[in-house]
Structure 1
Amino acid sequence: MLRIEPQHCPIPEVLEDNRWGWTEYYIGIRGEPLLVNPRIRTCVAFLGRRHDGEERIVATGFFLSLKCGDLYFPYLVTAAHVIERTRSFDYSDDGIVYLYLNAKTGARFKTIRSEIKHWYFHPTNPAVDVAVLPFKMLPELDHTVLESDPPLEVVANPRRWLIDVGTDVFITGLFLRHFGRERNIPIVRTGTIAALPEEPVTFVKDDGSEQKIKAYLIETHSVGGLSGSPVFANPMVPAISESNIQLQARHIWIGLVSAHWDFDPDQPEQENINSGIAIVSPRESVMEVLDHLDLHEMRQKVITNRIKNKAPKFDDAGEPLAQKTRAPKPEDRISVPIPTRGQFEGDLAKAVRKRNKK
């Protein structure tokens, strides 16, 4: 019989997770891979359409912000074919893309209608399967916005956080057979990078035409509904100290799911499992769409207005105008009118006459 010495048995202990800019503690075994942070699922929303008089949830989108100076511009990102299909009356009754979002309070999710004309696609290459929607994040929404730039630690140490063939990845998004009746319930699928975007991948569009796109190939079994889902690389490296060895991981956004081979990923009627290879449009393709001239002008207009509002104003002589400020008024202060001398003497005479009558 094999005897295991006590010192060789893994003992659960309190571990720290500092990946998100704050410290979280959990019980685990040192050296085991860290789990996916549950907040990562809040970056996704579900997209739907109305067909035959009934709303159907069919795909996934996610929130992404682009930093310009000290401003962040949020967008909803998904696969372009999800939006393009909505143009067809065979697919959509009204040509509206329905957004299903979780709220911070209340059980029901919020539904927002978006028109196709408000979505933006790649400015020069229609084969790129990316669409973005400028989206103002409302405070009542229970969603997280991803940053388009990778973490500073990853940028500073690219060889330490290497993303290559065999790197673990995970996808979060819609599962058509269980998406939640009261709130969106995204699932998490795991896999590995099977191929880097070295050569264009053949992508078959709805009309049967073949397009060549730049893409990762990800080995992961999945079913319909994950089109437009964000994909994260999850490289893990050992952190060695004097007392122990611990695995560290970083969730690095690398792109979005465009399709799977073998069957249409957005048809809920098909339940077959695909070939296991997903086509993932890389982060660079998303950034190219965000660099659309119209979107660039929108951002520039906001930046210009902000600078204009902050800039000092001058009079005709070139002297800076004094800023008008109001002193704060305490809530407990009672405003009492001050009488004139005539009012005071008149009130005093009335009081004397009233006293003499008594």
Structure 2
Amino acid sequence: MRINDAIRKAVVFLGIVDDKESFVPYGTGFVALWPTQIPGGYHIYLVTAHHVLKDIKSSKRDLIVRIDGRDGNTALGRIAAVDEWILHATNPLCDIAVIPFVASPETFDFKGVDLTKNAVSAEFIEEYDMGLGDAVFTAGLLTRHFGISRNISIVRNGNIAAMPDEPVDLGDLGQQEVYLIESRSIGGLSGSPVFLSAGPRVRKGMFVIDSQDDIERLLGVNIGLFQVQPSSDRARTDEADRRDHFLELMSSGIAVVVPVERVIEIIRDTPKLIEHRKKQLQASPPQGRA
């Protein structure tokens, strides 16, 4: 399945610069757009998984974003310190972090996801009967191959394995309402956007092609692998002397996706970001297309 190349252009890499002045990637981020009252204008944000930022903070180095430039090369930029990123106000364990992002579309080659037009909403789920088995994909970082002159983001496909109907035990993150998707995840994909694939799907018990909605929609943010827990996931038929550490090395094949609603709640409802948008409009015109 081919995807719209604009999806990959919404992806950036987050990391540090080491002692050799080389970029060391830690995880994925992506550009999200929130429209202004002025037609065609957007406020621009970066979104990632909070644990990616905490890992970078532990390195005691500056947080760096790697983004493609229109000159054909990547650019490295120092951005807001980890502690300045905005978290969810009412769910402190929600593994999502957001920060306003200033980048000129004339200088940098990026796109953004419009959270008011291209995101999965409760209304969309109801109207299009979205559910188990629907195809999804994610675009993000492969740490061993992330590009030299350009960011190279990989694309991984899968399907919805569980809807966020009930909270899931995520260990240190507590009980969270998340999607589980059948798609193997790797460390670099943390913070990457996950999209519902466009095209044919089962709707109200019938296989249909939704030609009126032939676009990819942001489902949420990949925050990592649903780890196999030897104590709870070992089948009763497993050999009694089987070593737990073999299971600890296993991937469950299930990735955890925080619903896009949490991102929208942070951007829409956080007083600090509301005030920032007001000041941004007063100080200068909106940043325009992205």
Scaled by the length of structure 1, what TM-score is found? 0.63
Aligned position for 1:36: 3
> C-alpha distance in 1, partners of 2:143/2:283?
43
Query: Over residues 280-299 of structure 1, what are the superposed CA-to-partner deviations in whole Å (9 max), with x where a residue is unaligned?
Result: 01011111211211011111
State the partner residue of 1:260.
Answer: 225
Residue equivalent to 1:297: 275
The answer on whether the counterparts of 2:119 and 2:260 sit within 8 Å (CA) in structure 1 is no
Establish whether residue 112 from structure 1 lines up as the match of residue 77 from structure 2. yes
Distance 1:156 1:289 in 2: 20
What's the counterpart of residue 310 of structure 1?
Answer: none
Map 1:151-166 → 2, pairs under 5 A: 151=118, 161-166=128-133
- Displacement of 1:162 in angstroms is 3.0
Quick check: 2:6–2:111 contact (8 Å CA) kept in 1? yes
SS of residue paired to 1:58:
strand
Instruction: Please list every run of 5 or more consecutive structure 1 residues that lacks an aligned counterpart in the other structure.
Output: 1-33, 239-244, 264-271, 308-358
CA distance in 2, matches of 1:246, 1:199: 29
Q: Please name the residue that 2:99 is paired with.
A: 133
Distance in 2 separating the partners of 1:286 and 1:76: 10
Distance in 2 between residues matched to 1:52 and 1:211, nearest whole Å: 37
Superposed CA RMSD in Å reads 2.8
Unaligned runs of 5+ in 2: 202-207, 229-248, 286-290
Is the alpha carbon distance of 1:99 and 1:305 closer, same or farther for their aligned partners in structure 2, counting shifts above 3 Å? closer
Return the alpha-carbon distance in structure 1 between the equivalents of residues 92 and 64 of structure 2: 23
Structure 1 residue 154 displacement after superposition: 8.8
Determine the C-alpha separation between the residues in 2 that align with 1:150 and 1:162: 18
* Contact 2:32–2:45 (8 Å) recurs in 1: yes
User: Cα 1:250–1:126, aligned 2, differ >3 Å: closer, same or farther?
Assistant: same
Partner of 2:26: 58
Measured in 1, the distance between the counterparts of 2:119 and 2:175 equals 32
**Gap change, CA 1:44 and 1:166, over 3 Å in 2:** same
Mapped partners of 1:182, 1:305: distance in 2: 35
Q: How far does residue 50 in structure 1 lie from its aligned partner after superposition?
A: 4.6
Deviation at 1:39, TM superposition (A): 2.0
1:288, 1:154 → 2: CA distance?
Answer: 12
TM-score, with length taken from structure 2: 0.77
Assess if the C-alpha contact under 8 Å between 1:51 and 1:93 holds in 2.
Answer: no
Residue 37 (structure 2) aligned to one of 62, 69, 77: 69
Structure 2 counterpart of 1:116, one-letter code: V
Query: Are the equivalent residues in 1 in contact too, given 2:137–2:197 (CA < 8 A)?
Result: yes
User: Which residue is equivalent to 1:334?
Assistant: none
- Of 136, 152, 161, which residue of structure 2 is paired with 1:169? 136
Question: Residue 222 and residue 259 in structure 1: after superposition, are their counterparts in 2 closer, same or farther (change >3 A)?
Answer: closer
1:119-268 correspondence to structure 2 within 5 Å: 119-138=85-104, 139-151=106-118, 161-204=128-171, 209-237=172-200, 248=211, 249-262=214-227
Aligned length: 251
Residues 1:153 and 1:289: Cα distance change in structure 2 (over 3 Å): closer
**Aligned residue type for 2:263:** V
Given that 1:58 and 1:176 are in contact with CA atoms closer than 8 Å, whether structure 2 keeps it comes out as: yes
Which residue of 1 is the match for residue 205 of structure 2? none
Cα gap change, 1:250/1:201 in structure 2, threshold over 3 Å: closer, same or farther?
same
In 2, are the aligned partners of 1:165 and 1:196 still within 8 Å (CA)?
A: yes
Q: Secondary structure at the match of 2:189?
A: coil
TM-superposed CA distance for 1:235, in Å, is 4.5
Q: CA deviation at 1:210?
A: 4.7
Structure 1 distance, partners of 2:169, 2:129, is 26
Secondary structure of the structure 2 residue equivalent to 1:56: strand
Deviation at 1:273, TM superposition (A): 6.7
CA 150–68 in structure 1, closer or farther in 2 if over 3 Å, else same:
same
Q: How does 1:337-352 map to 2 (within 5 A)?
A: none
Going from structure 1 to structure 2, the CA distance change for 1:166 and 1:52 (only over 3 Å counts) comes to same
SS at match of 2:263: helix
Deviation at 1:174, TM superposition (A): 0.5
d(CA) in 2 for partners of 1:257 and 1:84?
16
Identity across aligned pairs (percent)?
34
Q: Does the CA-based 8 Å contact 2:119-2:217 persist in structure 1? A: no
Tell me if structure 1 keeps the 8 A contact 2:26–2:56.
no
Letter of the structure 2 residue corresponding to residue 87 of structure 1:
K
Q: Distance in 1 between matches of 2:60 and 2:129?
A: 46
Distance 1:106 1:302, change over 3 A: closer
Give the drift of 1:246: 6.7
How do 1:281-320 residues align onto structure 2 when only pairs under 5 Å count?
A: 281-290=258-267, 291-303=269-281
User: Could you tell me which residue of structure 2 aligns to residue 328 of structure 1?
Assistant: none
